[in-house]
Amino acid sequence: MELAEVFRFTGMTAVVTGAGSGIGRETATVLAEAGARVIVADLDGGAAEDTAAHIVKAGGQAEARQVDVSDPADVARLVTGAVEQTGRLDVMVNNAGIMLRKPALDITPEEFERVLSVNLKGVLYGCQSAARVMKPGGSIVNTLSTIVDFSTAGTGSYAASKKGAEALTRTFAVELGPRGIRVNGVAPGWTDTGITRGRSFDENGAFDQQGFDALAGRMAGSAPLGAVATTRDTALAVLYLASQASRCVTGHVVRVNGGASMA
Ligand X SMILES: NC(=O)c1ccc[n+]([C@@H]2O[C@H](COP(=O)([O-])OP(=O)(O)OC[C@H]3O[C@@H](n4cnc5c(N)ncnc54)[C@H](O)[C@@H]3O)[C@@H](O)[C@H]2O)c1
Minimum CB distance to ligand X smaller for 116 or for 136: 116
> Could you say which of 9, 125, 158, 172 is catalytic?
158
Q: How far apart are CB 24 and ligand X at their closest, in Å?
A: 5
Cα(41)–Cα(19) distance, integer angstroms: 6
Name residues contacting ligand X, limited to 141-170 (CB under 6 A). 143, 145
> Is 191 an interacting residue with respect to ligand X (CB under 6 A)?
yes
> Is 43 an interacting residue with respect to ligand X (CB under 6 A)?
yes
Q: Which of 33, 44, 50, 208 binds ligand X (CB under 6 A)?
A: 44
Beta bridge partners of 39: 15, 63
> Is 188 an interacting residue with respect to ligand X (CB under 6 A)?
yes
Cα(235)–Cα(230) distance, integer angstroms: 9
Q: What are phi and psi of 250, to 5 degrees?
A: -150, 155
Q: How far apart are CB 106 and ligand X at their closest, in Å?
A: 21
HSE-up of 166 (CA within 13 Å, CB side)?
19
The mark string for 68-107 relative to ligand X (x by CB under 6 A, - otherwise) is xxx------------------------xxxx---------
Q: Which of 9, 14, 15, 17 binds ligand X (CB under 6 A)?
A: 17
Closest CA to 215 of 235, 198, 233: 198
Which residues, other chains included, contact 73 with Cβ-Cβ below 8 Å and sequence gap of 6+?
none
> Is 233 an interacting residue with respect to ligand X (CB under 6 A)?
no
Buried/exposed code over 142-160 (b: 16+ C-beta within 10 A; e: otherwise): bbbbbbbbeeeeebbbbbb
Q: Is 2 helix (H, G, I), strand (E, B) or coil?
A: coil
Task: Examine the residue annotation and report whether 240 is marked as an active-site residue of this protein.
Answer: no
From 41-49, 56-64, 76-84, 166-174, span contacting ligand X (CB under 6 A): 41-49
Minimum CB distance to ligand X smaller for 69 or for 176: 69
Q: Is 135 helix (H, G, I), strand (E, B) or coil?
A: coil
**203: exposed, middle or buried (Cβ count in 10 Å: 0-12, 13-18, 19+):** exposed
Instruction: Summarize as ranges the residues that interact with ligand X (CB under 6 A).
Output: 17-18, 20-24, 42-44, 47, 67-70, 95-98, 118, 143, 145, 188, 190-191, 193-196
